[in-house]
């Protein structure tokens, strides 16, 4: 039975109580609309910790005006049922006012890693993410925290932040979970019409194209990037980027890398999808 708390003080106390009886806290921060990708984070947390805390908070700070904050899917009752089924011990679901009371004015920012890729298109997004996750880490205290690698740049930024600020958090980046046909799971997939859902497969086809070229020995970052882009571009209404980057610094990759991040952001109608693959490390998607 998952306990639900709404107040930050209650959440902090419950995590402290768990640690007081020697339970290792596993944290799964989410914005709700839970799917198998989130459930895989819960399973991973259970393999590393014995008290599982999941947070559900659609964080207004990480949405720019005009993005989908107002219509972001909110499915609290079914999220809770999923948490109960998966053995989550504690659900923290605060109201925006509890996280950002009047007068709130502090921001946490990771400088360089936030600039490329998503940072070029969602300029204030990562400051909103690092600020809310700092608050969640502060409330949780020492723990192991799970993040999905579908948000690859977010995972790298949060890992840097935890290191830079001596946070007592072990951060785990968990593999992307895909549908049987390869589409990466996302809470935003539910916005897609049946025909858009079909076209969305263009991303994974593009990533596979790059993967196959890499498997045949191609190592030029720009060639690999272009191979992915030539498959992805025609199926999408608009492409924000198909990028080839160093998987650690996220800067443009040097020639002949031993690992290469291919990252994509593309639009179908009003839905924006992201996906990525680390060549030289990830399996064929
Ligand atoms: O990845 C997400 O769902 C969100 O960005 C996070 C980490 C829960 C912060 O709001």
The C-alpha angle 179, 66, 155, rounded to 5 degrees, equals: 45
Instruction: Give the domain 3-174 fold.
Output: Rossmann fold (3.40.50)
Q: Per residue in 141-187, pLDDT tens?
A: 999 999 999 999 999 999 999 999 999 999 999 999 999 999 999 99
Q: Which of 27, 28, 29 to mutate to test the pocket of ligand 1 (most atoms within 8 A of CB)?
A: 29
**Taking the model in full, what pTM does it have?**
0.97
Is pLDDT above 90 for 2? Answer: no
Residues designated catalytic? 38
Q: Which of 154, 156, 159 to mutate to test the pocket of ligand 1 (most atoms within 8 A of CB)?
A: 154
Q: Reduced to 3 states, what is the DSSP secondary structure of residue 124?
A: coil
Q: 3.30.1300.10, 1.10.357.10, 2.40.10.10, 3.50.50.60: which CATH number matches 187-277?
A: 3.30.1300.10
Closest CA to 168 of 188, 192, 190, 142: 142
Residues with CB under 6 A from ligand 1: 29-31, 59, 62, 129, 132-133, 151, 154
Please list, residue by residue across 134-167, b when 16 or more beta carbons sit within 10 angstroms of its beta carbon and e when fewer do.
bbbbebbbebbbbbbbbbbbbbbbbbbbbeeeeb
Q: Per residue in 213-252, pLDDT tens?
A: 999 999 999 999 999 999 999 999 999 999 999 999 999 9
Determine which residue's CA is closest to atom 1 belonging to ligand 1.
30
Q: Per residue in 98-137, pLDDT tens?
A: 999 999 999 999 999 999 999 999 999 999 999 999 999 9
Determine which residue's CA is closest to atom 2 belonging to ligand 1.
30
Give the C-alpha separation, 279 to 260, whole Å: 5
Closest CA to 133 of 61, 82, 65, 67: 61
Q: Where are the domains of the chain?
A: 3-174, 187-277
Q: For the chain, state the CA radius of gyration.
A: 19
Determine which residue's CA is closest to atom 8 belonging to ligand 1.
30
């Amino acid at each position: 039975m998952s306990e639900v708390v709404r107040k930050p003080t209650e959440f902090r106390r419950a995590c402290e109580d768990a640690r007081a009886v020697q339970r290792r806290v596993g944290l799964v921060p989410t914005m709700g609309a839970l799917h198998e990708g989130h459930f895989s984070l819960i399973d991973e947390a259970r393999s590393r910790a014995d008290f599982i805390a999941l947070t559900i908070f659609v964080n207004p700070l990480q949405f720019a005006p005009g993005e989908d904050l107002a219509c972001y899917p909110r499915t609290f009752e079914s999220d809770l049922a999923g948490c109960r089924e998966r053995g989550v011990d504690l659900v923290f679901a605060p109201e925006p006012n509890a996280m950002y009371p009047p007068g709130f004015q502090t921001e946490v920012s990771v400088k360089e890693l936030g600039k490329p890729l998503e940072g070029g298109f969602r300029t204030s997004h990562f400051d909103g993410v690092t600020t809310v996750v700092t608050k969640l880490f502060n409330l949780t205290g020492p723990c192991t925290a799970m993040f999905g690698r579908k948000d690859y740049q977010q995972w790298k930024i949060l890992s840097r932040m935890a290191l830079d600020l001596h946070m007592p958090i072990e951060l785990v980046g968990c593999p992307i979970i895909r549908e049987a046909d390869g589409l990466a799971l996302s809470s935003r997939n539910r916005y897609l019409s049946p025909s858009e859902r079909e076209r969305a497969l263009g991303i994974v086809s593009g990533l596979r194209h790059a993967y196959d070229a890499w498997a045949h020995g191609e190592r030029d970052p720009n060639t690999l990037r272009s191979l992915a882009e030539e498959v992805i571009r025609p199926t999408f209404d608009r492409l924000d980027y198909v990028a080839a980057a160093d998987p650690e610094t996220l800067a443009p990759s040097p020639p002949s890398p031993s690992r290469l991040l291919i990252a994509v952001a593309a639009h179908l109608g009003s839905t924006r999808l992201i996906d990525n693959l680390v060549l030289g490390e990830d399996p064929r998607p």
